[in-house]
Every structure is written in structure tokens, then in C-alpha cells.
């Protein structure tokens, strides 16, 4: 009997450890980023690091200002949201409310495929189709620019926006729509003036999820944005927070490498903020 109790206890303990594993991983990531990110920030000084406009990590007089990266990430994400959200939103309303079941099934598969395509494939197609096209259409010397990155990001966040919005729209109680229809509103009016407001927290969550995806994307953006640490401008080569980390990591050392960890810490803080917002909307949606 005693032996049995011992076994039960041990097993309980093992499962407890496994259960706490996710918490442990989050702590591990946070601790590593903070420990490795703080030294460079104190050495460069927080203000100069965050608001310095010049990044010249390999120059004789190195300068570590990451404002160009922060602004590029913010503008790039905003641009992707501006283009991707309306398209995703209207497609989600159509697919969840109006489309016939066959079209809906096919489009759901198509959207899943879009979500599953690896980011390097987006980068490759962007590099060979989008970048030359941007160069031709806007008559600029190099098409690898913030604009190209925005287009690629807009496409990449489309599946998250469509899927999450569709789930929210499908959860709207049928009675709401029936009541609106009975009062003489047309179906289209009902969907946009009754269903959409009823699903607004879910749709907001979809947008926030899109923001998270866009700000965290590295490889696809690296292949189409030109990767020069300029202050952001639509048709110039730019560097994002993610690509700043990725592009110099393999050959960096000393303060330069520590500064890259600090950039990752800044990116991490952005993501944590976005996660908290996402959670807020998801909770609201549940209630």
C-alpha cells in the first residue's frame, strides 16, 4: 500500500513538472533575452540605443542606433495591416455568410495552404516576381524596398485574418441575424451592421494576431527588403528589427553581438505587448 502511494506521488510529481514546462520555457526565453540584452543597452545608453538614427556596427567609430529598425518594423507592420486587413475582412464575411458550401470548403483549403507555405518560399517568389515588378512600375533603381516587404507581409498575414475573423463571425447567434432580417434589412446589411459588430472582439483579435505575425516575420522580409539600415522610406532599401538580428548574427562578436541581443529584447517586448492585447480581445470574445 505504501509503495503504491509512493508511485502515485512520484507520477504526480512528473506530470506536474511536464505541466510547468511551458511556464519554464517562457521564463527561460525571458531570462536569456534580458540577461544578454541589458549589457549593450547600458553601454550604449538606452536613449542613444532606442533613438539613435545611425546603425554602423562595423565602422571604425561604431554607432548603434536602432530607431531605423523600430520605425521600419512599425511602418512595415502598419502597411501590411492597412492592405491585408480589409481584404481578409471582406473575404471572411463573404466566406462565412454568403458563399455556397462548396466554394467555402475550397477556399478554406486554399487559405490553409496559404498559411502553410514556408516563409522562404514567399521570400523567393517575392524576390523574383515582386521586386522586379516594383522596380519596373515605380521606376526606381532597386525594387527591394519597404514597399515590397509590405506587400509580402500583407499576403502572409491574410490567412490568420481570414481564419480568426471567420471563426468569430460564425459564432454570432443566428437569432441576431434573423431578427434583423425580419425587420426588413437585406442580408448584406444584416451581415455588416449586425453580425460584424457582434463579432468585433474576434475580428479585433484577428487584426492583433496579424500584427504579431507581421512584426515577427524575418526570412521572407529579409529576401525582399534590401536589408540596408536606412531610415524607413517606402521605396528605399530598409532593415527590420527581425532582419537586423538575423543579418549580422553569424559574423558578429563583442559589443556588436550584444547589441543584436538588445534588438531581440526590444522585439520581444513588442511581442509581449501584442500578446497581452490579443489576450484581452480573446477574453472579451469568450464573454
**Contacting another protein within 133-192 (CB under 8 A):** 155, 158, 162, 186, 188-189, 192
Q: What's the closest the beta carbon of residue 61 comes to another protein, in angstroms?
A: 27
Asked if 281 is part of the footprint of another protein (rule: CB under 8 A), the reply reads no
CA distance 113 to 232: 32
Please give the Cα distance from 130 to 144 (Å, whole number): 9
Query: First vs last Cα of the chain: how many Å apart?
Result: 46
**CB neighbours (10 Å) of residue 184?**
7
**Exposed / middle / buried, residue 156 (Cβ in 10 Å: 0-12, 13-18, 19+):** buried
Instruction: Name beta bridge partners: 238.
Output: 226
> Judged by CB under 8 A, which of 44, 157, 194, 223 binds another protein?
223
Is the CB of 53 or the CB of 137 nearer to another protein?
137
Number of residues that bind another protein (CB under 8 A): 81
Cβ proximity of 244 and 229 under 8 Å: yes
- Using CB under 8 A as the binding rule, whether residue 222 contacts another protein is answered as yes
Q: How far is the CB of 60 from another protein (least distance, A)?
A: 27
Nearer to another protein, 53 or 112 (CB): 112
Gap between the Cα atoms of 199 and 203, Å rounded: 6
Q: Among residues 44, 239, 274, 285, which is the contact residue for another protein, using CB under 8 A?
A: 274
How near is the Cβ of 63 to another protein at its closest, in Å? 22
Chain positions 38 to 77 lying near another protein, rule: CB under 8 A, are none
Q: Compute the distance between CA of residue 72 and CA of residue 49 in angstroms, rounded to an integer.
A: 15
Piece of 40-48, 50-58, 135-143, 239-247 that binds another protein (CB under 8 A) = 239-247
Q: Which of residues 110-129 bind another protein (CB under 8 A)?
A: 110-114, 116-121, 123-125, 127-129
Judged by CB under 8 A, which of 70, 80, 81, 93 binds another protein? Answer: 93
Interface with another protein, residue 278, by CB under 8 A: yes
CB of 47 or CB of 251, closer to another protein: 251
What secondary structure, in 3-state letters, does 226-261 show? ECCCCCCCCCCCECCHHHHHHHHHHHCCHHHHHHHH
Amino acid at each position: 500500500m505504501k509503495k503504491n502511494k509512493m508511485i502515485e506521488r512520484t507520477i504526480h510529481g512528473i506530470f506536474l513538472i511536464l505541466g510547468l514546462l511551458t511556464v519554464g520555457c517562457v521564463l527561460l526565453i525571458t531570462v536569456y533575452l534580458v540577461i544578454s540584452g541589458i549589457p549593450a543597452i547600458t553601454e550604449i545608453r538606452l536613449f542613444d540605443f532606442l533613438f539613435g538614427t545611425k546603425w554602423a556596427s562595423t565602422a571604425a567609430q561604431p554607432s548603434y542606433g536602432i530607431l531605423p529598425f523600430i520605425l521600419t518594423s512599425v511602418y512595415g507592420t502598419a502597411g501590411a495591416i492597412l492592405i491585408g486587413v480589409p481584404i481578409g475582412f471582406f473575404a471572411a464575411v463573404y466566406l462565412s455568410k454568403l458563399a455556397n458550401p462548396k466554394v467555402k470548403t475550397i477556399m478554406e483549403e486554399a487559405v490553409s495552404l496559404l498559411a502553410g507555405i514556408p516563409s522562404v518560399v514567399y521570400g523567393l517568389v517575392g524576390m523574383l516576381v515582386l521586386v522586379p515588378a516594383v522596380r519596373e512600375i515605380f521606376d526606381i533603381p532597386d525594387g527591394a524596398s519597404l514597399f515590397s516587404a509590405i506587400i509580402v507581409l500583407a499576403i502572409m498575414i491574410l490567412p490568420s485574418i481570414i481564419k480568426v475573423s471567420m471563426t468569430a463571425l460564425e459564432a454570432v447567434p443566428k437569432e441576431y441575424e434573423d431578427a434583423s432580417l425580419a425587420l426588413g434589412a437585406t442580408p448584406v446589411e444584416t451581415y455588416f451592421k449586425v453580425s460584424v459588430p457582434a463579432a468585433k472582439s474576434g475580428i479585433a483579435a484577428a487584426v492583433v494576431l496579424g500584427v504579431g505575425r507581421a512584426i515577427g516575420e524575418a526570412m521572407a522580409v529579409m529576401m525582399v527588403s534590401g536589408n540596408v539600415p536606412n531610415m524607413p522610406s517606402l521605396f528605399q532599401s530598409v532593415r527590420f528589427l527581425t532582419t537586423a538580428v538575423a543579418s549580422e548574427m553569424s559574423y558578429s562578436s563583442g559589443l556588436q553581438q550584444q547589441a543584436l541581443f538588445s534588438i531581440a529584447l526590444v522585439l520581444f517586448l513588442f511581442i509581449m505587448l501584442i500578446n497581452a492585447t490579443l489576450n484581452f480581445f480573446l477574453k472579451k470574445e469568450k464573454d
